[in-house]
Structure 1
């Protein structure tokens, strides 16, 4: 009846757009692929595809099987990888997804002692899941998600591990550098530099500028923290980053943290995991080590 290859075929046809391209990707002949899927349709008693001209369109049954493939195949791939690691004498691997640009520096300070404590566990950090990590976690592409903005879903649990304050970053010669806190209106004539993230996912917009109805004079995006802070230090704009990160760079760059509003913006870094994986000892150990990271990253 239904086998793994059938699910793989469905995924590849959807990705490649045709049976021919899917057959090439799966290293089988088109006739063998077509025969296998036709036999499955006969066994199931329902069509998976309908042909529309030279294209194939999934039926309702096909759409359902495609959704099953999206859930099942990543789990099978992960199981095979885990078993391969066990066969080679390794404990396992921890795949961490990043949904927070500046959190990378914090993560490095956790990973270093973790690798010492767990020498038989490999760690892989994936940053392509920035602001899209929930799907990767549910799809078994990663095991832990680092995020300041958890999105609670059934089957997932998020643990707060690190408190921090989001602050405005200016150069020491900036008029705001000597003030106790910044007001939204004071950024109306500023160039705001952020990571390449939509404004609705940026705290400086959602919790500071937006509620006051203020927009910066110009909004620029830069991918790397170092370049962003060099731009700020040269007086070419202001940015918003965690206070602990700004203080780390303040020793070598001419940058100053300023509170965002009288009350400031309090944030937390969370680690998200699938509930079924939380009893894995080396995953739980990483979460516990992350909770101890406050003293490591705050001067």
Structure 2
């Protein structure tokens, strides 16, 4: 009895028909019939009885089918362990962040991790950006990077980094000489945001909404470069993480302004499911993420 015979028996039982088993095993009908006859000949008994065109296991067949399940499972596990020994662990991590600016540094970190774990697929789920915690609970994500925490016993938060948000204005803007701005300063301004809903925008959540202040106009503009050009032309203002703004400050046409006397700080967290068992590479990824962001980016 060979492994191919066990796979054949398992496929016939689980697919339900010879035709489907043929498709699964990529065999011709004559090849399948030959292998089945070969197996029955070696055993000296029938494995299936043909009743009304259905393949029904005999008592010997039932015993052989149970044996096939055990052996093929152990074989698959052994193959995986050997591959992990030779090539490293296999798996997938689905990740998203509630802040679009985080996608500036995230791909670079993922690329470096994949050098160490080439067989772990790191998938950025951008469609989960607006509601990453809900997507985490729905098992659409494995990791959500967030600054807003919700109290839920199913979610565990791990510290990632802290950054500061600033307002970006043109060199001709009335704020240009201010040391800092407060909520009331926004009343007559055109605020550029990356996307709706407004409830997910940090400056709205932490500054404007608590003070019940509404800017004169709000425009959602998903392209950071386009928003920067609007600011340069004195056609609006925007909030941005201080570290993410640095590459654009080579231009003297824009200036960062502090938000509030002490600055507007955000804490970012890695959110994962609290009671879920994760593979070792998953914990290695979290450690790698924390280390790289804090050391290389010095956020």
TM range, normalised to the smaller chain? 0.5 to 0.7
Q: Per-residue displacement from partner, 1:56-84 (whole Å, max 9, x unpaired)?
A: xxxxxxxxxxxxxxxxxxxxxxxxxxx9x
What is the CA distance between 1:276 and its match in structure 2? 3.8
Residue in structure 1 matched with residue 50 of structure 2 by the alignment: none
Alignment check: 8 A CA contact 2:191 2:218 kept: yes
Q: CA deviation at 1:88?
A: 11
Alpha-carbon shift at residue 92 of structure 1 (Å)? 0.6
SS in 1 for 2:175: helix
Q: How far 1:124 moved relative to its partner?
A: 0.7
State the shift of 1:272 in Å: 0.9
Tell me what 1:62 maps to: none
- Output the CA distance in 2 between the equivalents of 1:246 and 1:176: 18
Q: Closer, same or farther in 2 for the Cα pair 1:211/1:181, shift >3 Å?
A: same
Task: Name the Cα RMSD after superposition.
Answer: 2.5
Q: How does 1:114-129 map to 2 (within 5 A)?
A: 114-129=113-128
CA displacement 1:11-66 (0-9 Å, x = unmatched): xxxxxxxxxxxxxxxxxxxxxxxxxxxxxxxxxxxxxxxxxxxxxxxxxxxxxxxx
Following TM superposition, by how much is the alpha carbon of 1:298 offset from its aligned partner in structure 2, in angstroms?
Answer: 4.7
| SS at structure 1 position matched to 2:105 | helix
TM-score by length of 2: 0.65
Q: Deviations over 1:190-237 (max 9, x none)?
A: 100002222333221232223333221100001122222222222210
Q: CA deviation at 1:289?
A: 2.2
Q: Supply the distance in 2 between the matched residues of 1:143 and 1:230 (Cα, whole angstroms).
A: 36
Does residue 290 (structure 1) correspond to residue 292 (structure 2)? The answer is no
Q: 1:86 to 1:230 in 2, by over 3 A?
A: farther
Per the alignment, do residues 254 and 281 of structure 1 end up closer, same or farther by CA in structure 2, a change over 3 Å counting? farther
In structure 1, what is the equivalent of residue 156 of structure 2?
A: 157
Please give the alpha-carbon distance, in whole angstroms, between the structure 2 residues aligned to 1:148 and 1:256.
25
The normalised TM-score by structure 1 is 0.65
1:222 is matched with which residue? 221
Q: Which moved more, 1:174-183 or 1:138-147?
A: 174-183
Q: Is there any run of 5+ residues in structure 1 with no aligned partner, and where?
A: 1-82
Q: 1:238 deviation in Å?
A: 0.5
Secondary structure, aligned partner of 1:236:
coil
Q: Distance in 1 between matches of 2:215 and 2:297?
A: 30
* Matched position secondary structure for 2:222: coil
Q: CA deviation at 1:278?
A: 6.1
2:171–2:252 contact (8 Å) kept in structure 1: no
Aligned residues: 216
| Equivalent residues of 1:247, 1:257 under 8 A apart | no
SS of the residue corresponding to residue 244 of structure 1 reads: helix
Aligned to 2:184: 185
When residues 167 and 144 of structure 1 are mapped into structure 2, their CA distance, relative to the original with a 3 A threshold, is same
In the alignment, the residues of structure 1 paired with residue 81 and residue 248 of structure 2 have an alpha-carbon distance, to the nearest angstrom, of 44
Which protein is bigger by CA-based radius of gyration?
Answer: 2
Partner residue in 2 for 1:28: none
Q: Is the 8 A contact 1:230 1:253 kept in 2?
A: no
Q: Distance in 2 between matches of 1:281 and 1:257?
A: 42
- Superposed, 1:101-250 pairs within 5 Å as 101-250=100-249
